[in-house]
Amino acid sequence: MPCSVLLINIFLLQWIESVQIGKAAEDLMKDLDLVQHSNTLAANLTGSEKRRLCVANALIGKPKLVVLDEPAAGIDPLTRRYIWKGGVICCVDI
């Protein structure tokens, strides 16, 4: 399943009803530098890209608390800094 479709399905599975789900998924992919892989099958992603996709899945629905066990392991330094500075915390706005 392509990454963009996967994120939209996760939004729908969590009963998030909004006309802007597509935009929210796109914004999330942009924040985690996954836009270029929106039509790539999740199985064909590299380890780092899969990890970023997992972080995106964890942030869907704006949970009050997210516990991530070493989410930046295996991720490129630029995205790692972005995650640790809290940049991903505010990226989903529904």
Q: What is the pLDDT of residues 28-51, one digit of tens each?
A: 888 888 889 888 888 898 888 888
| C-alpha span between 12 and 30 (Å, rounded) | 19
**pTM more than 0.75:** no
* Cα separations in angstroms, 61 against 15, 16, 92: 9, 7, 7
So what's the pLDDT on residue 90? 47
| C-alpha span between 65 and 2 (Å, rounded) | 27
Task: Note whether 48 and 75 are within 8 A (CB).
Answer: yes
Q: What is the pLDDT of residues 57-91, one digit of tens each?
A: 888 877 777 777 776 777 778 777 777 766 554 44
